Structure 1
Amino acid sequence: MAKLSIEQLSKSFGSESIIKDLSLHVDEAEFVSILGPSGSGKSTLFHLIGGLYPPEKGDIYLDGQRITGKRGAISYMPQSPSLLPWRTILDNVLLGAEIAGKRDTETARVMMDKAGLGGYESAYPSQLSGGMKQRASFIRSLLSPQSLICLDEPFSALDEFTRLEMQKWLMSIWEHYKRSILFVTHNIEEALFLSDRIIVLSNKPAYVQREFKIPFKRPREESLMLTHEFLEWKKTIYNELREFS
Protein backbone atom coordinates (compact mmCIF):
# COMPACT_ATOMS: atom_id res chain seq x y z
CA MET A 1 0.00 0.00 0.00
CA ALA A 2 1.24 3.47 -0.85
CA LYS A 3 2.08 5.71 2.08
CA LEU A 4 0.48 8.62 0.19
CA SER A 5 -2.17 8.29 -2.48
CA ILE A 6 -3.70 11.31 -4.26
CA GLU A 7 -6.69 10.57 -6.47
CA GLN A 8 -8.13 12.93 -9.10
CA LEU A 9 -7.40 16.10 -7.12
CA SER A 10 -8.69 19.47 -8.38
CA LYS A 11 -8.36 22.95 -6.90
CA SER A 12 -9.30 26.44 -8.09
CA PHE A 13 -9.03 29.93 -6.63
CA GLY A 14 -11.94 31.98 -7.94
CA SER A 15 -12.13 31.45 -11.68
CA GLU A 16 -8.52 30.24 -11.95
CA SER A 17 -8.00 26.48 -12.06
CA ILE A 18 -4.67 25.57 -10.36
CA ILE A 19 -4.77 21.76 -10.18
CA LYS A 20 -7.02 19.49 -12.24
CA ASP A 21 -7.51 15.72 -11.97
CA LEU A 22 -4.05 15.19 -10.46
CA SER A 23 -3.17 11.70 -9.21
CA LEU A 24 0.10 10.45 -7.72
CA HIS A 25 1.46 8.21 -4.98
CA VAL A 26 4.48 7.88 -2.71
CA ASP A 27 5.39 4.39 -1.51
CA GLU A 28 6.81 3.27 1.82
CA ALA A 29 10.31 4.76 2.39
CA GLU A 30 10.33 6.27 -1.12
CA PHE A 31 11.89 9.61 -2.12
CA VAL A 32 9.76 11.29 -4.80
CA SER A 33 10.49 14.71 -6.30
CA ILE A 34 8.08 17.04 -8.08
CA LEU A 35 9.27 19.27 -10.90
CA GLY A 36 7.16 21.72 -12.84
CA PRO A 37 7.02 25.19 -14.38
CA SER A 38 6.90 28.19 -12.05
CA GLY A 39 3.36 28.78 -10.88
CA SER A 40 2.23 25.27 -11.77
CA GLY A 41 0.69 24.62 -8.37
CA LYS A 42 3.45 22.68 -6.58
CA SER A 43 3.11 24.61 -3.31
CA THR A 44 -0.69 24.53 -3.60
CA LEU A 45 -0.46 20.74 -3.83
CA PHE A 46 1.48 20.66 -0.54
CA HIS A 47 -1.12 22.90 1.08
CA LEU A 48 -3.84 20.49 -0.05
CA ILE A 49 -1.94 17.49 1.33
CA GLY A 50 -1.43 19.36 4.60
CA GLY A 51 -5.13 20.19 4.88
CA LEU A 52 -4.70 23.96 4.64
CA TYR A 53 -7.06 24.08 1.64
CA PRO A 54 -9.98 21.79 0.78
CA PRO A 55 -10.01 20.47 -2.80
CA GLU A 56 -13.04 20.91 -5.05
CA LYS A 57 -12.69 17.30 -6.11
CA GLY A 58 -10.59 14.27 -5.28
CA ASP A 59 -9.22 12.50 -2.24
CA ILE A 60 -5.95 12.18 -0.33
CA TYR A 61 -5.05 9.03 1.62
CA LEU A 62 -2.12 8.46 3.98
CA ASP A 63 -1.39 4.98 5.34
CA GLY A 64 -4.82 3.92 4.08
CA GLN A 65 -6.65 6.67 5.99
CA ARG A 66 -8.50 9.49 4.22
CA ILE A 67 -6.87 12.80 5.22
CA THR A 68 -8.58 15.13 2.72
CA GLY A 69 -8.93 18.53 4.41
CA LYS A 70 -7.36 17.31 7.67
CA ARG A 71 -4.42 19.09 9.31
CA GLY A 72 -1.56 17.51 11.23
CA ALA A 73 -1.29 14.34 9.13
CA ILE A 74 2.08 15.20 7.54
CA SER A 75 5.40 16.70 8.57
CA TYR A 76 6.13 19.81 6.48
CA MET A 77 9.43 21.63 5.92
CA PRO A 78 9.06 24.96 4.07
CA GLN A 79 11.68 26.91 2.09
CA SER A 80 12.76 28.84 5.18
CA PRO A 81 13.82 26.92 8.30
CA SER A 82 11.05 28.55 10.38
CA LEU A 83 12.88 28.04 13.66
CA LEU A 84 11.45 29.88 16.66
CA PRO A 85 14.04 32.51 17.69
CA TRP A 86 13.25 32.29 21.42
CA ARG A 87 13.77 28.51 21.61
CA THR A 88 17.14 26.78 21.72
CA ILE A 89 18.10 24.54 18.79
CA LEU A 90 17.36 21.44 20.86
CA ASP A 91 13.92 22.78 21.79
CA ASN A 92 13.29 23.74 18.15
CA VAL A 93 14.06 20.26 16.79
CA LEU A 94 11.81 18.75 19.46
CA LEU A 95 8.86 21.04 18.70
CA GLY A 96 6.88 18.68 16.43
CA ALA A 97 7.41 15.70 18.73
CA GLU A 98 6.55 17.85 21.74
CA ILE A 99 3.22 18.91 20.21
CA ALA A 100 2.44 15.23 19.60
CA GLY A 101 3.36 14.40 23.21
CA LYS A 102 6.41 12.36 22.16
CA ARG A 103 9.38 14.48 23.26
CA ASP A 104 12.53 12.31 23.14
CA THR A 105 15.57 14.41 24.06
CA GLU A 106 18.05 11.52 23.81
CA THR A 107 17.11 10.66 20.21
CA ALA A 108 17.18 14.36 19.30
CA ARG A 109 20.73 14.71 20.65
CA VAL A 110 21.88 11.63 18.68
CA MET A 111 20.39 13.03 15.46
CA MET A 112 21.91 16.45 16.08
CA ASP A 113 25.31 14.81 16.44
CA LYS A 114 24.82 13.01 13.11
CA ALA A 115 23.89 16.36 11.54
CA GLY A 116 27.00 18.11 12.81
CA LEU A 117 25.00 20.10 15.35
CA GLY A 118 26.48 18.50 18.45
CA GLY A 119 27.44 21.24 20.89
CA TYR A 120 24.77 23.60 19.56
CA GLU A 121 21.91 22.21 21.65
CA SER A 122 21.75 25.37 23.80
CA ALA A 123 22.42 27.80 20.95
CA TYR A 124 19.71 29.95 19.37
CA PRO A 125 18.82 30.16 15.64
CA SER A 126 20.53 33.55 15.24
CA GLN A 127 23.83 31.88 16.10
CA LEU A 128 23.64 29.30 13.26
CA SER A 129 24.51 29.47 9.58
CA GLY A 130 21.84 28.94 6.90
CA GLY A 131 22.87 25.34 6.30
CA MET A 132 22.86 24.53 10.01
CA LYS A 133 19.37 26.00 10.37
CA GLN A 134 18.16 23.80 7.50
CA ARG A 135 19.62 20.72 9.19
CA ALA A 136 17.85 21.61 12.41
CA SER A 137 14.59 22.09 10.50
CA PHE A 138 14.90 18.70 8.82
CA ILE A 139 15.70 16.94 12.11
CA ARG A 140 12.51 18.51 13.50
CA SER A 141 10.64 16.93 10.58
CA LEU A 142 12.23 13.53 11.20
CA LEU A 143 11.39 13.65 14.91
CA SER A 144 7.74 14.44 14.21
CA PRO A 145 5.59 11.28 14.35
CA GLN A 146 3.96 11.66 10.91
CA SER A 147 4.95 9.02 8.34
CA LEU A 148 5.30 11.44 5.39
CA ILE A 149 7.64 14.44 5.14
CA CYS A 150 6.89 17.13 2.55
CA LEU A 151 9.89 19.31 1.66
CA ASP A 152 9.14 22.52 -0.26
CA GLU A 153 12.37 23.68 -1.96
CA PRO A 154 14.30 23.57 1.34
CA PHE A 155 17.69 24.41 -0.20
CA SER A 156 16.69 27.10 -2.71
CA ALA A 157 18.13 29.98 -0.65
CA LEU A 158 21.55 28.36 -0.17
CA ASP A 159 24.66 28.95 -2.27
CA GLU A 160 25.70 26.21 -4.71
CA PHE A 161 28.33 24.54 -2.52
CA THR A 162 26.25 24.64 0.67
CA ARG A 163 23.30 23.30 -1.31
CA LEU A 164 25.33 20.33 -2.56
CA GLU A 165 26.57 19.56 0.95
CA MET A 166 22.98 19.72 2.21
CA GLN A 167 21.81 17.39 -0.55
CA LYS A 168 24.47 14.83 0.38
CA TRP A 169 23.64 15.20 4.06
CA LEU A 170 19.89 14.85 3.44
CA MET A 171 20.44 11.69 1.39
CA SER A 172 22.66 10.09 4.03
CA ILE A 173 20.16 10.85 6.81
CA TRP A 174 17.22 9.66 4.70
CA GLU A 175 18.98 6.40 3.78
CA HIS A 176 19.48 5.77 7.50
CA TYR A 177 15.95 6.59 8.71
CA LYS A 178 14.00 5.71 5.51
CA ARG A 179 10.99 8.01 5.82
CA SER A 180 8.64 8.64 2.89
CA ILE A 181 9.49 12.00 1.32
CA LEU A 182 7.72 14.20 -1.23
CA PHE A 183 10.17 16.88 -2.37
CA VAL A 184 9.43 19.99 -4.44
CA THR A 185 12.32 21.56 -6.35
CA HIS A 186 13.05 23.60 -9.49
CA ASN A 187 16.51 22.04 -9.79
CA ILE A 188 16.71 19.04 -12.16
CA GLU A 189 20.15 17.92 -10.89
CA GLU A 190 18.91 18.01 -7.31
CA ALA A 191 15.87 15.91 -8.18
CA LEU A 192 17.96 13.36 -10.09
CA PHE A 193 20.59 13.08 -7.37
CA LEU A 194 18.09 12.55 -4.53
CA SER A 195 15.08 10.76 -5.97
CA ASP A 196 13.70 7.29 -6.61
CA ARG A 197 11.09 8.82 -8.92
CA ILE A 198 10.53 12.25 -10.47
CA ILE A 199 7.03 13.53 -11.27
CA VAL A 200 6.78 16.31 -13.84
CA LEU A 201 3.72 18.54 -13.58
CA SER A 202 2.17 20.37 -16.50
CA ASN A 203 1.53 24.10 -16.51
CA LYS A 204 -1.60 25.09 -14.62
CA PRO A 205 -4.08 23.68 -14.25
CA ALA A 206 -1.49 21.11 -13.16
CA TYR A 207 -1.74 17.38 -13.74
CA VAL A 208 0.95 14.69 -13.88
CA GLN A 209 2.46 15.13 -17.31
CA ARG A 210 5.11 12.41 -16.97
CA GLU A 211 6.80 10.22 -14.38
CA PHE A 212 10.42 9.03 -14.42
CA LYS A 213 11.81 6.11 -12.40
CA ILE A 214 15.46 6.96 -11.63
CA PRO A 215 17.82 3.99 -12.13
CA PHE A 216 20.87 5.12 -10.13
CA LYS A 217 21.83 2.74 -7.33
CA ARG A 218 22.24 3.88 -3.74
CA PRO A 219 24.29 5.09 -1.97
CA ARG A 220 25.05 7.85 -4.50
CA GLU A 221 28.26 9.81 -4.74
CA GLU A 222 28.80 13.37 -5.94
CA SER A 223 30.76 12.02 -8.95
CA LEU A 224 27.47 10.59 -10.31
CA MET A 225 26.49 14.08 -11.49
CA LEU A 226 29.38 14.16 -13.97
CA THR A 227 28.58 10.84 -15.66
CA HIS A 228 27.20 10.60 -19.20
CA GLU A 229 24.11 8.73 -17.99
CA PHE A 230 23.27 11.43 -15.45
CA LEU A 231 23.67 14.19 -18.05
CA GLU A 232 21.45 12.29 -20.50
CA TRP A 233 18.75 12.00 -17.85
CA LYS A 234 19.08 15.70 -17.13
CA LYS A 235 18.64 16.48 -20.83
CA THR A 236 15.55 14.26 -21.07
CA ILE A 237 13.83 15.88 -18.10
CA TYR A 238 14.87 19.38 -19.21
CA ASN A 239 13.23 18.79 -22.61
CA GLU A 240 10.08 17.54 -20.88
CA LEU A 241 9.90 20.70 -18.76
CA ARG A 242 10.73 22.95 -21.70
CA GLU A 243 7.45 22.02 -23.36
CA PHE A 244 5.64 24.02 -20.68
CA SER A 245 8.01 26.98 -20.28
Structure 2
Amino acid sequence: MGTLLIKEISKSFQGRKVLEKIQFQVEEGEFVTILGPSGSGKSTLFQLIGGLLKPVEGSIIIDGQDMTGKRGTISYMPQQSALLPWRTVLQNVLLGQELQGKKDEQKAREMIKRAGLGGYEEALPGALSGGMKQRVAFIRALLSPQSLICLDEPFSALDDFTREEMHEWLLSIWSSYRRTILFVTHNIDEALFLSDRILILSTNPAQVIHELSVPFPRPRHHDLLLTGEFLEKKRELTGFLKR
Protein backbone atom coordinates (compact mmCIF):
# COMPACT_ATOMS: atom_id res chain seq x y z
CA MET A 1 0.00 0.00 0.00
CA GLY A 2 1.48 3.38 0.96
CA THR A 3 -1.37 5.78 1.66
CA LEU A 4 -0.96 8.72 4.04
CA LEU A 5 -3.62 10.93 5.59
CA ILE A 6 -2.60 13.97 7.65
CA LYS A 7 -5.62 15.12 9.65
CA GLU A 8 -5.44 18.68 11.04
CA ILE A 9 -1.95 18.37 12.53
CA SER A 10 -0.76 21.21 14.78
CA LYS A 11 2.59 21.48 16.57
CA SER A 12 4.09 24.05 18.91
CA PHE A 13 7.54 24.51 20.46
CA GLN A 14 7.89 26.52 23.68
CA GLY A 15 4.54 28.17 23.10
CA ARG A 16 5.26 29.09 19.46
CA LYS A 17 3.00 27.39 16.92
CA VAL A 18 4.98 25.90 14.01
CA LEU A 19 2.25 23.93 12.21
CA GLU A 20 -1.44 24.82 12.27
CA LYS A 21 -4.13 22.35 11.20
CA ILE A 22 -2.14 20.83 8.34
CA GLN A 23 -4.31 18.47 6.31
CA PHE A 24 -3.58 16.55 3.11
CA GLN A 25 -3.60 13.05 1.64
CA VAL A 26 -1.10 11.02 -0.39
CA GLU A 27 -2.37 8.10 -2.46
CA GLU A 28 -0.58 4.84 -3.13
CA GLY A 29 2.22 5.24 -5.70
CA GLU A 30 2.04 9.06 -5.74
CA PHE A 31 5.05 11.38 -5.72
CA VAL A 32 3.95 14.38 -3.62
CA THR A 33 6.21 17.29 -2.71
CA ILE A 34 5.96 19.67 0.24
CA LEU A 35 7.33 23.02 -0.94
CA GLY A 36 8.00 25.90 1.38
CA PRO A 37 10.57 28.46 2.52
CA SER A 38 13.32 27.51 4.95
CA GLY A 39 11.98 27.36 8.48
CA SER A 40 8.38 26.75 7.43
CA GLY A 41 8.12 23.48 9.35
CA LYS A 42 8.72 20.98 6.54
CA SER A 43 11.22 18.89 8.50
CA THR A 44 9.05 19.11 11.64
CA LEU A 45 6.21 17.61 9.63
CA PHE A 46 8.46 14.68 8.64
CA GLN A 47 9.45 14.12 12.27
CA LEU A 48 5.76 13.97 13.17
CA ILE A 49 5.01 11.49 10.37
CA GLY A 50 7.98 9.37 11.46
CA GLY A 51 6.85 9.35 15.09
CA LEU A 52 9.86 11.25 16.43
CA LEU A 53 7.52 14.01 17.62
CA LYS A 54 3.90 14.03 18.72
CA PRO A 55 1.45 16.67 17.49
CA VAL A 56 -0.45 18.97 19.82
CA GLU A 57 -3.57 17.94 17.94
CA GLY A 58 -4.50 15.93 14.89
CA SER A 59 -3.61 12.45 13.69
CA ILE A 60 -1.45 10.62 11.15
CA ILE A 61 -3.05 7.72 9.30
CA ILE A 62 -0.81 5.36 7.31
CA ASP A 63 -2.43 2.56 5.31
CA GLY A 64 -5.67 3.11 7.19
CA GLN A 65 -4.15 2.82 10.68
CA ASP A 66 -3.59 5.57 13.22
CA MET A 67 0.22 5.84 13.52
CA THR A 68 0.38 9.12 15.46
CA GLY A 69 3.52 9.08 17.61
CA LYS A 70 4.58 5.60 16.44
CA ARG A 71 8.03 4.94 15.01
CA GLY A 72 9.20 2.55 12.32
CA THR A 73 6.25 3.15 10.00
CA ILE A 74 8.11 5.03 7.24
CA SER A 75 11.35 4.72 5.29
CA TYR A 76 13.27 7.98 5.74
CA MET A 77 16.06 9.49 3.64
CA PRO A 78 17.66 12.62 5.18
CA GLN A 79 19.59 15.48 3.57
CA GLN A 80 22.86 13.61 4.08
CA SER A 81 23.17 10.00 2.95
CA ALA A 82 23.72 8.76 6.53
CA LEU A 83 25.59 5.67 5.32
CA LEU A 84 27.46 3.71 7.98
CA PRO A 85 31.16 4.22 7.08
CA TRP A 86 32.25 0.76 8.24
CA ARG A 87 29.65 -1.07 6.13
CA THR A 88 30.04 -1.78 2.42
CA VAL A 89 27.62 -0.46 -0.19
CA LEU A 90 25.77 -3.79 -0.19
CA GLN A 91 25.63 -3.92 3.61
CA ASN A 92 24.32 -0.34 3.79
CA VAL A 93 21.63 -1.08 1.20
CA LEU A 94 20.46 -4.11 3.18
CA LEU A 95 20.37 -2.30 6.54
CA GLY A 96 16.66 -1.43 6.50
CA GLN A 97 15.73 -5.02 5.72
CA GLU A 98 18.08 -6.36 8.40
CA LEU A 99 16.38 -4.23 11.03
CA GLN A 100 13.09 -5.92 10.07
CA GLY A 101 14.64 -9.38 10.22
CA LYS A 102 14.82 -10.22 6.52
CA LYS A 103 17.22 -9.74 3.61
CA ASP A 104 16.95 -10.03 -0.17
CA GLU A 105 20.56 -9.84 -1.28
CA GLN A 106 19.83 -10.77 -4.88
CA LYS A 107 17.38 -7.89 -5.32
CA ALA A 108 19.81 -5.53 -3.58
CA ARG A 109 22.58 -6.47 -6.00
CA GLU A 110 20.23 -5.99 -8.95
CA MET A 111 19.25 -2.50 -7.76
CA ILE A 112 22.84 -1.52 -7.06
CA LYS A 113 23.74 -2.51 -10.63
CA ARG A 114 20.76 -0.62 -12.04
CA ALA A 115 21.87 2.46 -10.10
CA GLY A 116 25.13 2.41 -12.05
CA LEU A 117 27.08 1.17 -9.05
CA GLY A 118 27.92 -2.31 -10.30
CA GLY A 119 31.39 -3.23 -9.05
CA TYR A 120 31.03 -1.05 -5.94
CA GLU A 121 29.10 -3.63 -3.88
CA GLU A 122 32.04 -4.21 -1.52
CA ALA A 123 33.27 -0.59 -1.51
CA LEU A 124 33.06 1.54 1.63
CA PRO A 125 31.21 4.90 1.52
CA GLY A 126 34.50 6.82 1.74
CA ALA A 127 35.30 5.69 -1.80
CA LEU A 128 32.08 7.15 -3.24
CA SER A 129 31.17 10.61 -4.58
CA GLY A 130 28.27 12.58 -3.09
CA GLY A 131 25.89 11.54 -5.85
CA MET A 132 26.87 7.88 -5.52
CA LYS A 133 26.23 8.00 -1.76
CA GLN A 134 22.75 9.42 -2.35
CA ARG A 135 21.99 6.64 -4.82
CA VAL A 136 22.95 4.06 -2.21
CA ALA A 137 20.77 5.81 0.38
CA PHE A 138 17.78 5.86 -1.96
CA ILE A 139 18.16 2.17 -2.83
CA ARG A 140 18.24 1.44 0.90
CA ALA A 141 14.98 3.38 1.29
CA LEU A 142 13.37 1.52 -1.63
CA LEU A 143 14.35 -1.86 -0.21
CA SER A 144 13.05 -1.10 3.27
CA PRO A 145 9.72 -2.84 3.94
CA GLN A 146 7.80 0.31 4.92
CA SER A 147 5.24 1.38 2.32
CA LEU A 148 5.90 5.14 2.52
CA ILE A 149 9.23 6.82 1.70
CA CYS A 150 9.94 10.32 3.06
CA LEU A 151 12.76 12.23 1.34
CA ASP A 152 13.99 15.30 3.22
CA GLU A 153 15.86 17.54 0.72
CA PRO A 154 18.16 14.65 -0.25
CA PHE A 155 19.90 16.54 -3.07
CA SER A 156 20.47 19.90 -1.37
CA ALA A 157 24.19 19.29 -0.76
CA LEU A 158 24.95 18.32 -4.38
CA ASP A 159 26.26 20.60 -7.13
CA ASP A 160 23.77 21.62 -9.84
CA PHE A 161 25.04 19.19 -12.48
CA THR A 162 24.98 16.19 -10.13
CA ARG A 163 21.59 17.28 -8.83
CA GLU A 164 20.05 17.30 -12.32
CA GLU A 165 21.57 13.89 -12.99
CA MET A 166 20.10 12.58 -9.75
CA HIS A 167 16.63 13.90 -10.62
CA GLU A 168 16.44 11.90 -13.83
CA TRP A 169 17.95 8.85 -12.15
CA LEU A 170 15.47 9.05 -9.27
CA LEU A 171 12.49 9.23 -11.63
CA SER A 172 13.75 6.29 -13.71
CA ILE A 173 14.08 4.09 -10.61
CA TRP A 174 10.83 5.31 -9.05
CA SER A 175 8.84 4.71 -12.24
CA SER A 176 9.84 1.03 -12.09
CA TYR A 177 8.94 0.45 -8.44
CA ARG A 178 6.22 3.12 -7.90
CA ARG A 179 6.65 3.40 -4.15
CA THR A 180 4.72 6.20 -2.44
CA ILE A 181 7.02 9.20 -1.93
CA LEU A 182 6.59 12.33 0.17
CA PHE A 183 9.37 14.75 -0.77
CA VAL A 184 10.45 17.96 0.95
CA THR A 185 12.29 20.80 -0.78
CA HIS A 186 12.45 24.58 -1.10
CA ASN A 187 13.62 24.30 -4.73
CA ILE A 188 10.76 25.07 -7.15
CA ASP A 189 12.41 23.53 -10.23
CA GLU A 190 13.06 20.32 -8.32
CA ALA A 191 9.47 20.14 -7.07
CA LEU A 192 7.96 20.69 -10.55
CA PHE A 193 10.30 18.26 -12.27
CA LEU A 194 9.80 15.37 -9.85
CA SER A 195 6.24 15.54 -8.55
CA ASP A 196 2.71 14.45 -9.32
CA ARG A 197 1.36 17.06 -6.88
CA ILE A 198 2.89 19.96 -4.96
CA LEU A 199 1.64 21.33 -1.64
CA ILE A 200 2.87 24.79 -0.62
CA LEU A 201 3.34 25.66 3.03
CA SER A 202 3.13 29.20 4.36
CA THR A 203 5.60 30.59 6.87
CA ASN A 204 5.02 29.94 10.58
CA PRO A 205 2.62 28.85 11.66
CA ALA A 206 2.67 26.71 8.53
CA GLN A 207 -0.55 25.93 6.70
CA VAL A 208 -1.19 24.40 3.27
CA ILE A 209 -1.98 27.49 1.18
CA HIS A 210 -1.94 26.01 -2.34
CA GLU A 211 -2.02 22.67 -4.14
CA LEU A 212 -0.84 22.13 -7.72
CA SER A 213 -1.37 19.02 -9.83
CA VAL A 214 1.72 18.92 -12.06
CA PRO A 215 0.57 18.64 -15.70
CA PHE A 216 3.77 17.33 -17.31
CA PRO A 217 3.68 13.75 -18.65
CA ARG A 218 6.27 11.17 -17.70
CA PRO A 219 9.01 10.28 -18.49
CA ARG A 220 10.55 13.72 -17.97
CA HIS A 221 13.89 15.15 -19.06
CA HIS A 222 15.60 18.37 -18.06
CA ASP A 223 14.83 20.19 -21.31
CA LEU A 224 11.35 20.46 -19.75
CA LEU A 225 12.71 23.25 -17.52
CA LEU A 226 13.11 25.53 -20.56
CA THR A 227 9.54 25.25 -21.82
CA GLY A 228 6.97 28.01 -21.52
CA GLU A 229 4.51 25.80 -19.62
CA PHE A 230 7.16 24.93 -17.02
CA LEU A 231 8.04 28.61 -16.52
CA GLU A 232 4.35 29.47 -16.21
CA LYS A 233 3.89 26.93 -13.39
CA LYS A 234 7.09 28.15 -11.77
CA ARG A 235 5.72 31.72 -11.70
CA GLU A 236 2.49 30.45 -10.16
CA LEU A 237 4.34 28.67 -7.34
CA THR A 238 6.69 31.61 -6.79
CA GLY A 239 3.72 33.91 -6.29
CA PHE A 240 2.39 31.73 -3.46
CA LEU A 241 5.80 31.35 -1.84
CA LYS A 242 6.20 35.15 -1.65
CA ARG A 243 2.97 35.66 0.25
TM-score tier (shorter): over 0.9
Query: Is 1:223 the equivalent of 2:223?
Result: yes
Tell me the distance in 2 between the aligned counterparts of 1:24 and 1:76.
Answer: 19
| Kept in 2: contact 1:8–1:58 (CA 8 A) | yes
Query: Superposed, which structure 2 residues align to 1:126-205 within 5 Å?
Result: 126-205=126-205
| Kept in 2: contact 1:2–1:25 (CA 8 A) | no
SS at match of 1:239: helix
Larger deviation, residues 219-228 vs 66-75: 219-228
SS at match of 2:117: coil
Once the two structures are TM-superposed, the CA of residue 102 in structure 1 deviates from its matched residue by 2.0
Tell me the distance in 2 between the aligned counterparts of 1:165 and 1:16.
Answer: 39
Once the two structures are TM-superposed, the CA of residue 186 in structure 1 deviates from its matched residue by 1.0
> Partner of 1:39 in structure 2?
39
Once the two structures are TM-superposed, the CA of residue 15 in structure 1 deviates from its matched residue by 1.1
Can you give the 5+ residue segments of structure 1 that lack an aligned partner in the other structure?
A: none
Task: Provide closer, same or farther for how the CA distance between residues 173 and 2 of structure 1 changes in structure 2, counting only shifts above 3 A.
Answer: closer
> Partner of 1:95 in structure 2?
95
- The total of aligned residue pairs comes to 243
> Partner of 1:56 in structure 2?
56
| Kept in 1: contact 2:9–2:21 (CA 8 A) | yes
SS at match of 1:230: helix
Tell me the distance in 1 between the aligned counterparts of 2:130 and 2:97.
Answer: 23
> Partner of 2:209 in structure 1?
209
> Partner of 2:115 in structure 1?
115
1:95-138, CA deviations, whole angstroms, 9 ceiling, x for partnerless residues? 00111112110000000011011110100000000000000000
Once the two structures are TM-superposed, the CA of residue 71 in structure 1 deviates from its matched residue by 0.1
User: Over aligned residue pairs, what C-alpha RMSD do you find?
Assistant: 0.9
Please give the TM-score of this superposition, normalised by the length of structure 1: 0.98
Tell me the distance in 2 between the aligned counterparts of 1:151 and 1:11.
Answer: 21
> Partner of 1:73 in structure 2?
73
Tell me the distance in 2 between the aligned counterparts of 1:108 and 1:233.
Answer: 37
Identity of aligned residues (%): 63
Question: Which amino acid in the other structure matches residue 214 of structure 1?
Answer: V
| Kept in 2: contact 1:6–1:24 (CA 8 A) | yes
| Kept in 1: contact 2:2–2:147 (CA 8 A) | no
Please give the TM-score of this superposition, normalised by the length of structure 2: 0.99
| Kept in 1: contact 2:2–2:180 (CA 8 A) | no
SS at match of 2:87: coil
| Kept in 2: contact 1:8–1:23 (CA 8 A) | yes
Question: Which amino acid in the other structure matches residue 237 of structure 1?
Answer: L
| Kept in 2: contact 1:48–1:54 (CA 8 A) | yes
Tell me the distance in 2 between the aligned counterparts of 1:162 and 1:2.
Answer: 29
Can you give the 5+ residue segments of structure 2 that lack an aligned partner in the other structure?
A: none
Tell me the distance in 2 between the aligned counterparts of 1:172 and 1:142.
Answer: 13
1:165-215, CA deviations, whole angstroms, 9 ceiling, x for partnerless residues? 000000100001000000001110000000000000011111111100011
